[in-house]
Amino acid sequence: MKVHLLKSAEVSTTLFTKVVDFLKSIPGPISFIYDLDATIDFEEDEKFLYQIKDEAEFEKKIMHLSSENFSLSSASSFPLEREMVSWDVLFKKTNQYRKKNDIQKNEFVFLLTDIANKQNWFAALDEKMPYNGFIHTEDWDYYIKCSAAFPIAYEVIALMMQKHMFDGLYDLRINVHENPIGCVNDFCLHKREIILKLRTGDICEDCIERAAGKISPPELHHALQIMSSLREKMLFAQNMKRFSPLSKLIINNKSKIILPDFGNIEIKLRPLEKALYFLFLKYPEGIYHSSLSEHRMELYELYAAISTMGDLAEMQIRIDDMVNALNDSASQKMSRIKRVFEEAIGPDLAVHYYIKGESGQKKKIDLDRTLVNMINT
């Protein structure tokens, strides 16, 4: 099964890449193909300027049902005015992309877009061509305190499952769970209800039964594994796993940093940041910022081993720049390393893994080095 992912122009590459990384982190028969260069914009499309008058309206999918009042604690100020497009416009984009790239009828094309839709849904399939879908990338931060990449990746799996589990959208509408039970097929009329299904990362017995004849067992297994890995990673990111014992830290032969006991979460750092991090791992007693330059050659070797691209002279310049105590290049890298760990495993666990230290004092990584396993050395 193939799933093509594309984004509209305003969706950040960082977010998009994160979504793709999450989906691809579990190997299996469903393949995810992404296109960073697809230029999808809405410059020439009909848009509606729409005023959302209060939180209740912001929160609710539009279904022509009588409205109930719900309050949303952290929402922005209302009325909120924004542009929206119709579902037709969104699906037209996915169809155009499908045609242009000659994508088979039984391959999915999902558009990740920042623009809101008139029905106020986070994600939906195209009734006319259910292998097309869209996922809205904004507004998630009103509901969950972690990267929007988690719920977006989850919606990719949810849409794909829904196509296979239901015979058409009518079947879907009458068979989804109107009252949320923490299954992938919860309807979530109130967008906040989505929190429950993200938290369980699960699919109920009835829905498994329904899917069994329609998706091959290896594909179903793969989809379920991705959902449960997203669930676990999201719990770490939200600091909800803060009482877990510390994980080993593995640096594999491709210089990837993996935390095997935290659901194999990978800490993604850029090559220079990695070189700096590996240097500090080698020195449990710590290093003064001002004496970084004494480790110039060591950093150079570490960097050369990690970074396969770029010419040598240029690499040397970058290292020289980083060890120069007069600029803040190294500090910036340490801050970013800290942020990457915090976003991945939550601030309480992260504190054991990143480089830290008062200014003027030695900087060091606290982690017990018996937990560190470097496979490439």
Residues that bind Zn ion (CB under 5 A): 183, 185, 204, 207
Whole-number minimum distance, CB 163 to Zn ion, in Å?
Answer: 15
Q: Nearer to Zn ion by C-beta: 72 or 195?
A: 195
Query: How far is the first Cα of the chain from the last one, in angstroms, to the nearest whole number?
Result: 38
The CA dihedral of 39, 45, 50, 56, to the nearest 10 degrees, is -50
Alpha helices, DSSP H only, in the chain? 13-24, 55-59, 87-100, 149-165, 168-175, 194-200, 205-212, 217-237, 271-282, 296-306, 312-323, 329-345, 347-350
Q: Which is nearer to Zn ion, 116 or 184 (CB)?
A: 184
Nearest distance in Å: CB 238, Zn ion: 24
Which DSSP symbol is given to 142? G
Closest distance of CB 180 from Zn ion, Å? 10
Helix pair 13-24, 217-237: axis angle to 10 deg: 130
* Least spacing, CB of residue 206 vs Zn ion, in Å: 5
Contacts of 16 (CB under 8 A, 6+ apart): 5, 7, 34, 36, 112
Residue type for position 135: I
Q: How far is the CB of 181 from Zn ion (least distance, A)?
A: 7
Cα 254 to Cα 249: distance, rounded to the nearest angstrom = 14
Query: Considering beta carbons, is residue 175 or 324 the nearer one to Zn ion?
Result: 175
CA atoms within 13 A on the CB side of 36: 9
Residue number, 185 or 200, with CB nearest to Zn ion: 185
C-beta closer to Zn ion: residue 165 or 345: 165
Of the two residues 128 and 173, which places its CB atom closer to Zn ion in the complex? 173
Q: How far is the CB of 212 from Zn ion (least distance, A)?
A: 13
